[in-house]
Structure 1
Amino acid sequence: MTQTTFDCIVVGSGHAGASAALAAVEAGCTDVLIVEKAPKDWAGGNGFFTAGAHRTVHSGLSDLLPIVTNVTPEQAEKIDIEPYTVDDFVGDIMRLGENKPDAVLVNTMVTESRAAVQWLAEKAKIPFTLSFNRQAYEMNGRQKFWGGVALSVKNGGKGLIEADLLALEEKGVQIWFETPALKLITEGSAVTGVVVRKGGDEVSLKASSVILAAGGYESSAELRAKHLGPAWERARVRGTPYNTGDGFVMAQAVGAKLVGDWLGCHSTCWDANAPVDTGDRERSNQFTKSGYPLGIMVNVNGQRFVDEGQDFRNYTYAKFGRQILLQPEGCAFQVWDADTIPLLRKEEYGDDIVEKITASSVEELADELAEKGMQNKEGFLQTLREYNAAVQQHRAEHPDLKWDPAVKDGLSTQSLTKSLPLPKSNWALPIAKAPFLAVKVACGITFTFGGLAISPETAAVLSESGEPIPGLFCTGEMVGNLYYNNYPGGSGLTSGTVFGMKAGREAAKLAGNSKYQTV
């Protein structure tokens, strides 16, 4: 290795870092380097473990068709996708975040989301698809999309990162794997490079800008316990094991301001038999268990603990992992009967993906669950009896309502004469028809919400005084003040691209050769 000076250095090879690097090159940088702590086999950070979903503003099906690769004209005639407006997207983030997110930051990300996915399709050649298998149900011969997100990527996160890496290679972006960033180099108040460890040696690399895209701290059990609480030591790491908070340490050392929800994270229903400390590169997102709106979830005492039909899965899955973690033993069981088993996604519930607990009666199911950790069989059976009675009473009082998983159908457990203390607000069907199925789930942590303060317009990292730190930018999971408490599915990858594009373009300006140069 002889080269030690670059136009721009990006820390992290995930989708956000790749977006920043590609934007820097497109804007005029001629020498961009990505440094990545992980080995090459772990390229892509958490993006590799996603379904590839990108939440974006759009005006309906006709707006999305030009950038997707999996819809024939004949298929298009049988697809229903409602427009998703700026107000819808902003409203979802603010609603789920209890109005705590930074409104300017949110609005910037949302208003630029459609341009960002267009840029990805054109510049990075991301093979976008409509997510039929994940975001639509076939109802009356039509594919009906729900939950505000329709875009995915061919082969999910694996396909996304494959496309990112190919685009980076074509643009001449170097990636140094097994090269952890150790500290930022400064001259006065400006960041002018980064010290890395490469081949066992510490090497100082100079650049006119550094873009931090190193992810959160979710892979560190110690930091999870420190910030989220002791129970989080037993959460299962959903993605890369290399996101251990290094970027925050480096940023703090040069005066960066920490902001956002340091008590919150994206945590989902995860296979209880999945690896504990790392994601699985082969099965990746298939360990997600998102079929709970079609049935119920009970803890080891046989009690329900969430409203499974509170909202579309997109708006609840990132917070229900926490609720599972807080249950006795930190686990739960998802339960269905013959009516809804066929609707479970094969990617998540296939015979070769998850350990299935099956039975021909609820009593037999209780016995089977006891062998897997259920501690109160009678409690479970009583829960089912009360739940079924409440569902049936609601149906008797509302015979006009029809079950429809693609809308909030209003089929619930709450009626004039019988209501449960904890409702199921939509999609409530009796669990009474054999065969019965259950799977055991735990809490899988995806990414943490606390992060760095950035300028919404430039993605520049802000100091404790609120001023931009010259030469330092940030994108991806390291951005703070964007999500609190909860998260609308598919917005993380979009955010990484929006602020990655901004950071890359600003980096080109600092390098002095940008087509976006201010004159």
Structure 2
Amino acid sequence: MAFDETYDVVVVGGGNAGFSAAISAAQSGAKVCLFEKAPLDDAGGNTFYTAAAFRCCFDGLQDLLPHLYQPDGTKGLPEELVAMIDMKPYTKADFHADIRRVTKGRADPALANVLVDNSREAVQWLMDNGAQFMLSFNRQSYVVDGKYKFWGGMVLTMAGQGKELFEFHLKTAKKHGVEVCFSTAVVDLIADPQTNGVVGVKVFKHGKNRTIGARGGVILACGGFQASPALRTQYLGPGWDLAHVRGSKYNTGDGHRMARKLGARLEGNYSGCHSVAWDGNSPRASGSREITNQYTKSGYPLGVMVNVNGKRFVDEGFDLRNFTYAIFGREILKQPQGVAFQVWDADGSKLLRKEEYADDVTTNLRAETIDELADILVTKGLKDKKQFLRTIAEFNEACKSFQREHGEVNFDPSVKDGMSTQGTTISLDIGKTNWATPIEKGPFQAVEVTCGITFTFGGLAVTRAAEVLSEATFQKIDGLWCAGELLGGLFWDNYPGGSGLTMGTVMGRVAGREAAKRANI
């Protein structure tokens, strides 16, 4: 078959998974081309918009210390800072338990094993290639008794977050000879008519179609369908066309469409997605290249969330934030008008992360009394001031009643502290399981939030080696791999925070090596 150009490996999609695949293939000796339909100034996929947190197994602080950086780029941490860190190991058993719990046991066990078993190695590969990681002090720790107490198992973030992660990948890819083509849409896969094996792609660039051969095969890493209102509504259900897109506007289901034409089997939670509490004043159709992940509003465990009718609708404290933030966007979207208000008193406000709640990031609504705050919320869409005040009063009384019954329980935001609204005397219809303290000390603060969709969970069925499976035969489609958010079967309803980027790197590396091997490299 004649092609305009031929490579050993072709990668579709320029986010973390795609670049991990391309770099790994190039490091295996392959001639690689990566196609990205976004222009350079709008590229990076969802990766660009993330906080660049990676969840991986580790043997405690000493395992990570030799590889850590400070915000100014200095390698290593000062001894006095190290002495203030309280960090437990995060074992494979811990990781598996978190996956089973948050996905309600639905995660494909084979894919879960691949993720967990290779998580530390994948992060080390990034480090060895020059990625600078820091401890996520602001995101994943609280100061308790003079110590930075890390919680939730996820402790690492890329310095510079998603913007820097994208720049790191781009620089590393070019260092290893990967040809990167921006503003180039892959519009179809090319298959051998006899075997149905993938031998190349058709691309559209500068107003022309071109055919590109791939001796080893093609790796699809072009994301989910979350940026398509039509596909969101088709798969996720009515109302999802109203969600705000948290990241790239280019993730519109191209990989699903192209693979499906070749008979690929769809897999996973097609009615599920990663969706967060997102700034109500954020852009609707795509994330902001400047604000990026700062539009996330994850401080709800420290206060309450109410809808425009003035009622709470979730247990804000049923688990640690990085095990709940990916599902609360859906719950907000279910509310009238698809919006809600997060509310704190002075004590809760002190613990909010500045990168999400600073005045130059979001519109903070403040008042000295809760009644005055209610009046402000009415101007922002609150329909029932009396119900709002009743909700806060009932919540406060439930908190105090529990504390009177359980004087031994103390507030601790770094663990599930058991500080609840559900006592013997008073128990709310919708309780708060942890971190339940009265909202009564002024000044008070609130922000408006909506649903921000990050990525969709339904994708392509794959083997442990990232090979895409056929719906007709349940065998692999020769020459076709998949990595990143396009992969289906691992995440269901929820996911452990930080595991998406890790899985992208894990399966991207697998796909890159396997495609290079098939090209006889």
TM-score of Structure 1 vs Structure 2, range by shorter chain: over 0.9
Counterpart for residue 192 of structure 1: 199
Please list, as runs of the form range in 1=range in 2, the aligned pairs for 1:213-292 lying within 5 A after superposition: 213-292=221-300
Please list, as runs of the form range in 1=range in 2, the aligned pairs for 1:59-78 lying within 5 A after superposition: 59-70=59-70, 71-78=77-84
Q: Deviations over 1:282-303 (max 9, x none)?
A: 0000000000000000000110
Deviation at 1:93, TM superposition (A): 1.3
Please list, as runs of the form range in 1=range in 2, the aligned pairs for 1:24-423 lying within 5 A after superposition: 24-29=25-30, 31-70=31-70, 71-123=77-129, 125-187=130-192, 188-208=195-215, 209-423=217-431
SS across alignment from 2:508: helix
SS across alignment from 2:115: helix
Q: With structure 1 as the length reference, what TM-score do the two structures score? A: 0.97
Q: Deviations over 1:301-351 (max 9, x none)?
A: 110000001000000000000000000010000000011111111100001
Counterpart code for 2:8? D
User: C-alpha separation between the residues in 2 aligned to 1:94 and 1:126?
Assistant: 30
User: C-alpha separation between the residues in 2 aligned to 1:211 and 1:276?
Assistant: 30
The answer on whether the counterparts of 2:4 and 2:210 sit within 8 Å (CA) in structure 1 is: no
Q: Deviations over 1:137-181 (max 9, x none)?
A: 111111110011000011111111111111111111111111111
SS across alignment from 1:493: helix
User: C-alpha separation between the residues in 2 aligned to 1:306 and 1:230?
Assistant: 21
Deviation at 1:88, TM superposition (A): 1.2
Q: Deviations over 1:79-128 (max 9, x none)?
A: 111111111111111211111111111111111100000011102x1111
SS across alignment from 1:256: coil
SS across alignment from 1:230: coil
Counterpart code for 1:44? G
SS across alignment from 2:326: helix
Deviation at 1:189, TM superposition (A): 2.1
User: C-alpha separation between the residues in 2 aligned to 1:94 and 1:197?
Assistant: 42
User: C-alpha separation between the residues in 2 aligned to 1:182 and 1:271?
Assistant: 34
User: C-alpha separation between the residues in 2 aligned to 1:329 and 1:64?
Assistant: 45
Counterpart for residue 467 of structure 2: 460
Deviation at 1:198, TM superposition (A): 1.1
Counterpart code for 1:32? V
SS across alignment from 2:392: helix
Q: Deviations over 1:445-477 (max 9, x none)?
A: 000000001111x11111112111111000000
Percent of matched pairs sharing the same residue = 53
Counterpart code for 2:210? V
Counterpart for residue 74 of structure 2: none
SS across alignment from 1:446: strand
Q: Runs in 1 of length 4+ with deviation above 6 angstroms?
A: none
Deviation at 1:3, TM superposition (A): 6.3
Q: Mind listing any 5+ residue stretches in structure 2 that lack a counterpart?
A: 71-76
The answer on whether the counterparts of 2:190 and 2:202 sit within 8 Å (CA) in structure 1 is: yes
SS across alignment from 2:169: helix
Counterpart code for 2:199? T
Q: Deviations over 1:471-516 (max 9, x none)?
A: 1000000000000011111000000000001000001101111xxx
Q: Mind listing any 5+ residue stretches in structure 1 that lack a counterpart?
A: 514-519
User: C-alpha separation between the residues in 1 aligned to 2:79 and 2:368?
Assistant: 44
The answer on whether the counterparts of 2:4 and 2:211 sit within 8 Å (CA) in structure 1 is: no
User: C-alpha separation between the residues in 2 aligned to 1:486 and 1:103?
Assistant: 15
User: C-alpha separation between the residues in 1 aligned to 2:441 and 2:506?
Assistant: 47
SS across alignment from 1:380: helix
Counterpart code for 2:94? D
User: C-alpha separation between the residues in 2 aligned to 1:383 and 1:323?
Assistant: 18
User: C-alpha separation between the residues in 1 aligned to 2:505 and 2:79?
Assistant: 29
User: C-alpha separation between the residues in 2 aligned to 1:42 and 1:459?
Assistant: 28
Counterpart code for 1:167? T
Deviation at 1:439, TM superposition (A): 0.2
Deviation at 1:73, TM superposition (A): 2.6
Structure 1 window deviating more from structure 2 (268-277 vs 137-146): it is 137-146
User: C-alpha separation between the residues in 1 aligned to 2:47 and 2:87?
Assistant: 25
User: C-alpha separation between the residues in 2 aligned to 1:126 and 1:452?
Assistant: 29
Number of residue pairs the alignment of both structures matches: 509
User: C-alpha separation between the residues in 1 aligned to 2:458 and 2:401?
Assistant: 44
The answer on whether the counterparts of 2:60 and 2:87 sit within 8 Å (CA) in structure 1 is: yes
Counterpart code for 2:86? D
User: C-alpha separation between the residues in 1 aligned to 2:223 and 2:422?
Assistant: 42
User: C-alpha separation between the residues in 2 aligned to 1:88 and 1:463?
Assistant: 33
User: C-alpha separation between the residues in 2 aligned to 1:356 and 1:119?
Assistant: 41
Q: With structure 2 as the length reference, what TM-score do the two structures score? A: 0.97
SS across alignment from 1:317: coil
Q: Kindly report the root-mean-square deviation, in angstroms, between the aligned alpha carbons of the 2 structures.
A: 0.9
